[in-house]
A and B are shown apart, each in its own frame.
Chain A
Amino acid sequence: MRPSAPRVQSLKVYGAIAMTLPHDWALYEVFVRAKRGLDHKHVGSLHAADAAMAIEHARDLYTRRQEGVSLWVVKSADIVASAPEDAAAFFDPAEDKIYRHPTFYDIPKDVETL
């Protein structure tokens, strides 16, 4: 038995469904706060028709085992990020400012609690 109709036919039959697929459901990024006192942490993404649905989907998808007490969702398109190929130059100015770290300073051993 053939597994399915030949591709051309299957596309014709299911073409209408396929056309509804590039759905207008936006991509959302999901952030979960695991417990009070911790930051919200990025866990992944999902598609939803609107923000309310995104929150419900996020609960079902990312907190099936009590992984969170709070959720954030944000449209992926609304996130502004630095460019990785510029990272070296972009973050470079901090590299030679070693005096910003406490270990830069040699303090005599006799001085305690510092």
Chain B
Amino acid sequence: MWPKVRNGGEWMYTQGLLEAPPKAASAVEDSERMARFQARIDAEEKIEPKDWMPEAYRQTLIRQISQHAHSEIVGMLPEGHWISRAPSLLRKSILIAKVQDEGGHGAYLYSAAETLGIARSELIEQLLSGRAKYSSIFNYPTPTWADVAAIGWLVDGAAIMNQVPLCRCSYGPYARAMVRVCKEESFHQRQGYHAMLSLARGTPAQQRMAQDALNRWWWPALMMFGPPDTASQHTALSVRWKIKRFTNDELRQKFVDFTVPQAQFLGLMVPDTQLHQAEDGHYQTGPLDWSEFNAVLKGNGPCNAERIAERREAHAAGAWVREAAIAHAAKRAARAVA
């Protein structure tokens, strides 16, 4: 399929729904292609959709980009619940804009994943069927308004730490999507800190609310960077292919160093009795409870079932809109011909 359409003028620009590329003719050819591919990456050149790439590179990217996209989509839920209950019209407008951005980020990322030859419908099916992973952070509940503030400050803050290096990822469409995402993400973090600041400077009850939210989100936010380097499966190859530029622990440390002073400014206590500033200036945290992380990852978090159920419901409820749009488009096309 692949080579035939190439000369037929039907190349999809994004290579949308084409089948996987044909197997290399020989092992020699394969190793030559692999050497050229790696040389290009080493020279900091981008890999673009129609370039030859090792199947493992393609699959790694599909997995990572689609998980990222799913995370944005599921990430709309915990905050979306607070749109109708935001404490002021301005906070409500801000939250609507933020949640709309998350949906947009999901769409940018699905668009980037599609350039690797997988259909968006397949990716969405993976999410709805529960086979796909998404960031475990979104399986925690948002019981108070302060949780929405804490998500913006900490969760979006951690996301930025992860995402900024991805703007230089070796895969062109992913890198370009991340540039757009990062531009918008800064607003998310700042509005969160701003909301947190309002609470921290508010009544004693509001201050307690802010502290409780920090207590709930601190450790899960640190776990967003993934398992420690000693236990991470994917790091080495992803670093060689410049999909990943820094290790999980490096990014986590950077986040802690940035965030602890921000908490101090709010007058809030980071919920870690072992936290201290080491002689080298870095903040050292106490040990992370990875058994909890793994339980949430395996689907046993507080909201795993609820999130997927809600996505399915939303998808089912929107089916008539998708069908009506098709019918309407067909009718208009028929009229145009007549």
Contact = CB atoms under 8 A, between A and B. Distances in A.
Nearest to A76: B12
Contacts of B14: 27, 29, 45, 76
A22 B131 contact: no
Interface in A47-76: 47, 49-50, 53, 60-61, 64-65, 76
B129 interface: yes
Give the secondary structure class of B's interface.
Answer: helix
Interface in B91-128: 97, 100-101, 104, 107-108, 111-112, 114, 119-122, 124-125, 128
* B contact residues, range: 35 or more
A100 interface: no
Given A14-B128, A45-B14, A53 B107 contact: no
Given A3-B299, A17-B316, A50-B329, A23 B128 contact: no
B10 A77 contact: yes
Interface of B: 6, 9-14, 16-17, 48, 50-52, 97, 100-101, 104, 107-108, 111-112, 114, 119-122, 124-125, 128-131, 173, 176-177, 180, 184, 299-301, 304-305, 308-309, 312, 315-316, 319, 322-323, 325-326, 328-329, 332-333
5 contacts: A7-B130, A17-B319, A25-B325, A46-B107, A84-B51
Interface of A: 1-4, 7, 10-11, 14, 17-18, 20-25, 27, 29, 43-47, 49-50, 53, 60-61, 64-65, 76-77, 79-81, 83-85
